[in-house]
Copies of this chain bind each other. A is one copy, B any other.
Amino acid sequence: MNSDSIYQLLLQVKSGQLTPDKALEQLKDLPFKDLDFAKIDTHRHLRIGYPEVIYCAGKTIEQVVSIVKYKMEKQIDVMATRADQNVYEAIKIIAPSAIYHPVARIITIPLQHGRKINDSVILVITAGTSDIPVAEEAAVTASFFGNTVEKIFDVGVAGIHRLFMHLDRLRGAKVIVAVAGMEGALPGIIAGLVDKPVIAVPTSVGYGSNFEGLSALLTMLNTCAPGVSVVNIDNGFGAGYLASVLNGMH
């Protein structure tokens, strides 16, 4: 509700079309409703049919199922992250079309149709094989939001020549999601090679002084190559979402 609509409302009050009581009712929640709708307003092209995301960790299966039910009744696409097989079995009962992406641990339920596909490429790239689950979480997320996603796995710095074989694809992408555990040097290397925004995703892959991803996280935050920004450890979803936002910019 912007100035225009408030003005219309005031005109209606003046003309007697609307009683002050009714008008008050509408204005009362203005501070909050306005915020709410404002957001939808500026992003209508995105939010229409935009999948709602459910973070399953820490939620009971019952809670997840009831959220899914509610969304489905509103005909909203659903994506559930950090979901295990049990959650999927429970959801499939109420949503037979639900798809489980076991590596990404994501459940998707496509209800909407004809979502516009973004042709520019989000490239998801991992340093090692063990980083793939996090990368897949990013890739499935970005795909579901309508993006074209490409993937290159296992090109970490221990054999940096493997990375160079893919320079063309690096250059051809619009946004790069670089996923790495252990020392986490990959995103910095890439940012030094191409001037694309690099979303760095540290993973908890490793052992010893990796300290559950702390090592990779600090590496990425401290990279001297500019153009890198970092999301939380193992946060594939956050990287996929951010990549979608960046890919949608124009």
Is the pair A20, B14 in contact by a Cβ cutoff of 8 Å? yes
Q: List which A204-250 residues lie within 8 A (CB) of chain B.
A: 204-235, 237-238, 241-242, 245-246, 249-250
Is the pair B208, A234 in contact by a Cβ cutoff of 8 Å? yes
Query: A193 interface residue, CB < 8 Å from B?
Result: yes
Copies held by the complex: 8
Query: A57 interface residue, CB < 8 Å from B?
Result: yes
Give chain A's interface residues, CB within 8 Å of chain B.
3, 6-7, 10-11, 13-14, 16, 19-21, 23-24, 27-36, 38-39, 42-43, 46-47, 53, 55, 57-59, 63, 127-131, 156-162, 164-165, 167, 171, 174, 181-185, 188-189, 191-197, 199, 202, 204-235, 237-238, 241-242, 245-246, 249-250
Can you give 6 A-B contacts (C-beta < 8 A)? A38-B167, A42-B195, A160-B193, A204-B208, A222-B232, A250-B250
